[in-house]
Amino acid sequence: MEMTLGGASLLALFLEALFYGVFLTLYWITLFILLKKSGIQRELLISVATLLLCLATAHLIIDFIRALEAFVFQVNTIGADAYYSDLASPLELAKMTLYIIQTILADSVILWRCYVTHNKSIIIAIPGCIMLLTNGAIGCYIVWSLSRIHSGSLASATWWLSSFYTLTMTISNTCTILIAYRIYRTRRLMPGGLAALLPIFIVIVESGALYAMSVLALLVTLFTRSNGQSPMLGGVVPIVGSLSA
C-alpha cells in the first residue's frame, strides 16, 4: 500500500531535517578549514558554502510552515493530502525555486572545480557553461509551468522536471569523472602516488555516486508517479549542499 501524500510529506520533512543537520556540521568543518587558508578561492568557497546553507535553511523553513498549515491550521478545511497536491501554491513554488537555484549553484561549484583541476581549460568551460545555462532555463520554465498547473497539463511539467534531473546528473557525473581522471594522471607517477590517491578517490567517487543516486531516485519516483518523490526531494536538498560545500 502506497503512503499517502501527507505521510510522504511528513517523511520528507524528517529526512530533510536529518540531512540538514549533517550539512550544517560539514559547513562548520569546511568553514574552519577555509579560514586557515588565504586567497580569492577562500573567499569564493566561503561565500558559496554560506549561500548553499542559506538556501537549504529557507527550504527547510518553508517545509515546516507547510507542515503546520497542512496538519494544524487547515486540517479541518481541505486536509493534508489536498493541501500538498496543490502544486501551484506560493509556498510550493518558492520551495521548487530554492531547489532549482541550489542545484544550479551546486553544479556550478562542481564545474568550477573541474575547470580549475584541468588548468582552466576552455574545452571544459564552454560545454559546461552551456549545460548550466540550459538547465537554468529549464528550471525557470518548470517554475512557470507549475504556477499554471491548474490551467495546463501535469505531463508537460513532468517532462521538463525529468530533463532537469537528467541534465544535472550528467553535469555532476561528467565533472566527477574528469576530476578523478585528472588527479590520477597528475599523481600516478609520483612516489607513493597511487597509495596517496586512494583516500582522494574514495571521497570523490562516494560523493559523486551519492549525488547521482539521489537524482536517479528522483527520476524513478517522478516517472512512476509515486508519492516517494516528496521524501526524495526533501532529502536531496541538503545532500546537494553538503556535497558541494
Q: Which three cell numbers stand for residue 106?
A: 551546486
Q: Which of 89, 47, 49, 35 is nearest to 66 (CA)?
A: 89
Length of the chain in terms of residues written:
245
Grid cell at residue 220: 524513478
Q: What is the pTM of this model?
A: 0.87
Coil, strand or helix: which one is 85? coil
C-alpha–C-alpha distance, residues 76 and 65, integer Å: 17
| Structural fold of domain 5-244 | Rhopdopsin 7-helix transmembrane proteins (1.20.1070)
DSSP of 29-83, one letter per residue? HHHHHHTT--SHHHHHHHHHHHHHHHHHHHHHHHHHHHHHIIIIISTTTT-HHHH
Q: What are the angstrom distances between the C-alpha of 188 and each of 43, 144, 180, 202, 207?
A: 31, 49, 12, 15, 22
pLDDT tens for each residue of 127-183? 999 999 999 999 999 998 888 876 445 566 788 888 998 999 888 888 888 887 887
- Tell me, what DSSP letter sits at residue 127? H
Residue whose grid cell is 531547489 = 99
And the C-alpha cell for 73?
491550521
Over the stretch 62-98, which tens digit does the pLDDT of each residue have? 999 999 998 888 777 887 888 888 888 899 999 999 9
Mind listing the pLDDT tens digit for each residue in 172-223?
888 888 887 887 777 665 555 555 555 555 666 666 677 778 888 888 888 8
Q: What is the mean pLDDT of residues 209-238?
A: 79
Distance CA 61, CA 69 (A): 12
**Other beta carbons within 10 Å of 206:** 11
pLDDT at 152: 44
User: Domain locations in the chain?
Assistant: 5-244
Torsion of CA 161, 130, 243, 45, to 10 degrees: -140
- As given in the structure block, the three cell numbers for residue 37 are 587558508
